[in-house]
Chains A and B, each alone.
Chain A
Amino acid sequence: MRERIASAITDRLYKNPGLIALVIVILFGLSCWQMFKLTINYNQLELIPQDLPSVLATKRMFKLAGGYGNLFVALRGKDVSLMKQVADDLTAEIRKIPAVRSATCRQDVGFLRDHLAYYIDTDDLNEGFGLMRRKIRAMTREKLGMKSADAETDEELRRLVEKYRNVNSKFVDDEYNIDPAREMILIVIQAKGIPNDLGFSKKLLSDVLSVIDQYNQQNPRGAKLKENEGNGPAPDAAITYGMTGEYKITYDDSTHMKNALKPTSFVAFTGILIYLIILFRRPMQIVLLMATLVMSIVMTFGFTKITLGELNSITAILGGILMGFGIDFGIHFMYRFRDEYSHRGDLYESLRQTVLHTGLSSLISVATSAVSLFVLVLARFKGFSHFGLIAGAGMFIIAIMMYTFLPAAILLLNRYWPRFTKSLVVNYRKIDDADHRNKPYPFASAILAASLVLTVGLAYFATRIEFDYDSRTSVTGDTQALVLQDEIEKRFGRKGLPSVVYTDTLEETKKIYDELSNKERYPYVQQVVSIFSLAPPMERQLKTRKILDQIQERMTEIPADLMTGENREIFDHVKRSLAAQPFTLKDVPEDLLKQFRPVPESGEKGYFTLIIPKGSVTDSKLTVEFTKQVGAIAIDGKRFYATGHMILMANLAMIVIRDGKIFPTLAAALILVILLISYRDPRALVFAMTPLLGAMVWMLGFMHLFHWKINYANIVVFPVVLGYGISSGIFIFNRYLETHSVMFALRHTGAAVAGSCITTVIGWASLFFSWHKGLTSMGSLAVFGVSAALLVALTVMPSLMQYTEDKKILVPKSKA
């Protein structure tokens, strides 16, 4: 049956090499045309399903708020009054940028300051009153000659004061957005576009930068501004500035990714070329292999344009990887073909034998590899599904090209340049002599025992592998914008980017506010900022008033002339705040209220509620828990969806983790089914699966020993290693089945298997040149996995075959 198929292929296809070559060249030309139209979408958030409620809510939010996210310009300096003047000047100029909806560096906080006491939790207020009394007693004792160093009360009071310096995300002791250390002022910019629109973000960032540049050249204050280069305040500048926020972070990440990917394909191509020169040492064979490979890659990208329309941040790396992965078929083809031709001297028969034996191995190999990739198509995360489709299709395209175009090219070359075939003849004398000696694989039992011990040991560590929830390990890394974002979070006590819920009516807004304010039910929520947090419930305000009355009574007995300088000012503020009477929403200034309302052009009249999380967006574990709590809030049977960068990132994380668990398992199951169908002998599975299982255990075990973790980027490597691990074993195993000689199989396929592994490693290793944390972690993991597969295929697998051959156990009878 197999012989008939092999004969049919060689008869039908290879009799008309010109036609085959012509068809492929036309396809290649069309693919080139399509490939040049291919674009890369670096927006990671578009990789999650667009029909998710949180995504739809985010799209609606864009309409309501006229955009989402902020751009922060951080000014850092030592002269506070100069910083404030520069902040005012720059804010006025930034407001003139057409893409800017609003820019602020200060807000009138008089109302909040005067009514501060009403924003304090009554428990905290009682605690504060208690601490105040304790402080009075301690001071009295001190005045009476007892040194009652009461550092504990001071510390508790400081903590309480610090907690309420910030009311509804606004510092009440200064109208400027200035940090407590008074070293940094923030200009908060709201734009008319979304951060994920990279073209918009690029223009916005460039416009803001040119405003700063222009101001730097001719500002009336004589202030010299310098961009922060990551090494703290510039010594020769009065003010150091930097930009961060969603617009900057998203744009930086995509730009870094774009730049990171540029060298990878080139490095992979050059690396593979150099390796092939070392392996084959025949220029024509190398040219043929590389030409076929490049054409296949181009056709894969043409296919991508037609089917998916674009690449994404994960599939963009596929060029180099497919080169390394796909050249395997060419190497195996060329090795076997040279072997056959060197022994037979008949081009057609050699091709027939190659198709018959290596072709079948390649078919099983491509089927298992492609299945492990195609199964990813079912994933909800587009990073996986697109990767699976393109890589799976790419594998098929490369395999088909290696068995159609490559033989056609050899036949055509032979037709027009008969001397070419001489270059195909290789001296196999040494190999043939060794075949005649028919020696067994040495130290089989020892290798088997040692590898078993090693595998069991590594399996122990493999089970301890952890998932890295810090999303920075899978993105660019610590860019200046991210470092600045960290600094802002630390300086201003803002832990994470707020998420937003939109409600249509005041009644719904109140219910959402009450619901989310339940700290026991929402432990991951740090603060809820709503129109209602501006006017706390009257019942609470009256309770507060009672406590304030008590405090006021004490305050009146403190002689005012005891206070001097700054203390006098604070004393006056406190007195004013204590005297403020309960108030309603109507008393709150419009300037404070408008931040909770949609932009007028949206035509909507509802309200926003801001939910501030307890941690940073880079801590995915926290973002996931936070999103599970506030992502969808059900009130009176109606569901309200929170939106924002954090929610979307958490959805991404949840989908990636879910898909990352399901699909490698599914791929493994399908590989098993294919192998069962191919060999129709369960014993064969033991051998074919050995490199795969060994590679996985060794890879995970070593990962743990090297303190590496699974992350959002490298999780995609697992199905690839599954597919690759199986493919390494199949070529050796099939050759072994032909003669039942382990050494024969290794001599004739070992070099090709090693060669194909090394080229695959080169493909993945090209990612190291990206200097991108996520891509590097993918590359490292794949290099580890593929190398482990090669090591197992060349040591453990032959030992196992030799051992079972010697002991006459588990010997597979069927020849695939």
Chain B
Amino acid sequence: MVKRRVGLITILLVMLVMLWHGTGMMAAAVSPADQKEILRTLTLAQYWIKKGDYNRAIAFVDFEGMAEIVMAGYWDKMSEKEKNEITTFMKNLIKEKFPIITQRLKLLKFGAITENGNQVLCDTLAVLDQTTQNKDQKIQIGLVKRGNEWKGVEVYILKEGFLAGLNEDKVRPILKRGGTLEEALAAVRRLFQEQ
């Protein structure tokens, strides 16, 4: 009888330990403070967009992080000068297109925040495209921490990263076939110009 009790307690203990470690492993925890900070960042950005003050809104965007995503697979091999060039390129491009993009992607409500690799993802309810008004779409906004500030680097629609898509569809194929950086960036620019 005693033996059975000991056995049962042991199993329960093992299960508890497993559960403790399991939850720790499964949930990419973001601290409540960070969560609060992330929500504050996103709400502020949303506010400035609504107000039409794109310069203030864009302050919450990380251009270097964006450049890194667009040049994924090649970023680490690039010189500082090249990295700066591309960061500037992204900065100019996003600044130029930010009003149009934000008009077509309206953020409604922010939800759960989880960690995913070097980014945190914030589940967001949005309306994508004016033609499908009232059709809510679940998207994710990817953010990274720069110093003490959280900044947006990516938007995931149907789990496809917008900037990662530029890398996969344009930049990578051009560089892979031996094309130059200028060609790759020109192709990205063309995409943005073809509105």
Report A's interface with B, CB cutoff 8 A.
Answer: 133-134, 136-138, 140-141, 143-149, 553-554, 557-559, 561-562
Residues of B near A562 (CB, < 8 A) are: 132, 135
Choice from B132, B157, B159, B192 contacting A146 with Cβ under 8 Å: B192
Residues of A within 8 A of B159 (CB): 553-554, 557
| B interface bracket (residues with beta carbon within 8 Å of A) | 20 to 34
Given contacts A134-B169, A145-B195, 5 further A-B contacts (CB under 8 A): A133-B160, A140-B158, A145-B103, A146-B194, A562-B132
Tell me which residues across on chain A come within 8 A of B34, comparing CB atoms: none
**Can you list 11 contacts pairing A with B, beta carbon distance less than 8 Å?**
A136-B160, A137-B169, A138-B169, A141-B165, A145-B100, A145-B103, A146-B192, A146-B194, A148-B191, A149-B194, A557-B159
B183: which A residues are within 8 A, CB to CB? none
Residues 125 to 178 of chain B near chain A (Cβ within 8 Å): 128-129, 132, 135-138, 157-160, 162, 165, 168-169
Residue B105 at the chain A interface, CB threshold 8 Å: yes
| Distance to closest chain A CB from B89 (angstroms) | 16
Asked if B191 and A141 make an inter-chain contact with CB atoms under 8 angstroms apart, the answer reads yes
A144 touches B101 (CB 8 A): yes
Query: How far, in angstroms, from A140 to B140 measured CA to CA in the complex?
Result: 13
B158 touches A136 (CB 8 A): yes
Contact partners of B129 in chain A: CB under 8 A: 143-144
Provide the bound-state CA to CA distance between A136 and B158, in Å: 7
Most B CB within 10 A of own CB, among A133, A149, A562: A133
CB neighbours (8 Å) of A554 from chain B are 158-159
Question: Looking at B100, B128, B194, which has the most chain A CB atoms within 10 Å of its CB?
Answer: B194
- CB of A557 within 8 A of CB of B135, answer no
The listed residue (B105, B138, B169) touching A557 by CB distance below 8 A is B138
Chain B residues with CB under 8 A of A140: 128, 157-158, 160, 162, 165
Contact with A along B82-126 (1 / 0, CB 8 A): 000000000000000100110111000000000000000000000
Q: Which residue of B lies closest to A153 (CB)?
A: B169
- Asked if A558 and B136 sit within 8 Å, CB to CB, the answer is no
**Most interface-central of B100, B138, B162, B165 (chain A CB within 10 A):** B165
Shortest CB–CB separation between residue B166 and chain A, in angstroms? 8
Q: How distant is the Cα of A558 from the Cα of B135 in the complex, in angstroms? A: 11
Whether A145 contacts B101 by the Cβ 8 Å rule is: yes
A contact face: mostly helix, strand, loop, or mixed = helix
Residue of A nearest to B97 (CB): A145
Nearest neighbor of B131 in chain A, beta-carbon distance = A143
- 5 closest A-B pairs by beta carbon, nearest first, are A137-B165, A143-B129, A147-B194, A140-B157, A145-B100
Q: Whole-angstrom distance from the CB of B168 to the nearest CB of chain A?
A: 7
Roughly how many angstroms separate A140 CA and B154 CA in the complex, as a whole number? Answer: 13
> Taking A137-B160, A554-B159 as contacts, is the C-beta distance between A144 and B194 under 8 angstroms?
no
Given contacts A136-B160, A554-B159, contact A143 B169 (CB under 8 A): no
Assembly CA distance A58 to B160 (angstroms): 55
A136 to B191, CA, bound (A): 15
CB-CB nearest in chain B for A142: B129
Q: Given A136-B158, A557-B138, does the pair A146, B169 have CB atoms closer than 8 Å?
A: no
Nearest residue in B to A149 (C-beta to C-beta)?
A: B194
State whether A561 and B165 are in contact (beta carbons under 8 Å apart), knowing that A144-B101, A146-B194, A553-B159 are contacts in the complex: no
Closest chain B residue to A134 by CB distance? Answer: B169
Q: How far is the CA of A557 from the CA of B191 in the complex (A)?
A: 26
Determine whether the beta carbon of A558 is less than 8 Å from that of B158: yes
> Is there an interface contact between A148 and B168, defined as CB atoms closer than 8 Å?
no
Q: Across the interface, which residues of A come within 8 angstroms of B128, CB to CB?
A: 140, 143-144
**B101 neighbours in A (Cβ, 8 Å):** 144-145
B178-195 interface code vs A (CB 8 A; 1 in, 0 out): 000000000000011011
On whether the beta carbons of B137 and A559 are closer than 8 Å, the reply is yes
Check A141/B195 contact, CB under 8 A, given A134-B169, A557-B138, A559-B136: no
How far is it, in angstroms, between the C-alpha of A505 and the C-alpha of B137 when the chains are bound?
55
Note all chain A residues with C-beta closer than 8 A to B136.
559
Contacts of A143 in B (CB 8 A): 104, 128-129, 132
Cβ distance B176 to chain A, nearest Cβ, rounded Å: 15
Query: Shortest CB–CB separation between residue B68 and chain A, in angstroms?
Result: 18
Q: Is the Cβ of A559 less than 8 Å from the Cβ of B135?
A: yes
Residues of A contacting B158 in the complex (Cβ-Cβ under 8 angstroms): 136, 140, 554, 557-558
Interchain CB contact under 8 A, B162 and A144: yes
Which residues of chain A have C-beta atoms less than 8 A from B100's C-beta? 144-145
Q: How far is the CB of B134 from chain A (nearest CB, A)?
A: 10
Chain A residues closer than 8 Å to B157, beta-carbon distance: 136, 140
Q: Complex: how many Å from CA A554 to CA B168?
A: 18
Give the shortest distance, in Å, between B150 (CB) and chain A (any CB).
Answer: 23
Chain B residues closer than 8 Å to A137, beta-carbon distance = 160, 162, 165, 168-169
Q: Which residue of A lies closest to B101 (CB)?
A: A144
A145–B169 touching, CB < 8 Å: no
Q: A144, B105: Cβ atoms under 8 Å?
A: yes
**Contact (Cβ within 8 A) A146 B195:** yes
* Complex Cα spacing A133 to B167, Å: 13
- The reply to whether B135 and A144 contact each other, CB–CB distance below 8 Å, is no
- In the bound assembly, the distance between CA atoms of A552 and B129 in angstroms comes to 24
Cα A384 to Cα B124 with chains together (Å)? 81
Residue of A nearest to B128 (CB): A143
Tell me whether A141 and B135 are in contact (CB under 8 A): no
CB-CB under 8 A from A561, the residues of chain B are 135
Pick the residue among B137, B138, B162, B168 that contacts A141 (CB under 8 A).
B162
- Of B103, B137, B165, B195, the residue contacting A147 (CB under 8 A) is B195
Most chain A beta-carbon neighbours within 10 Å: one of B132, B157, B192: B157
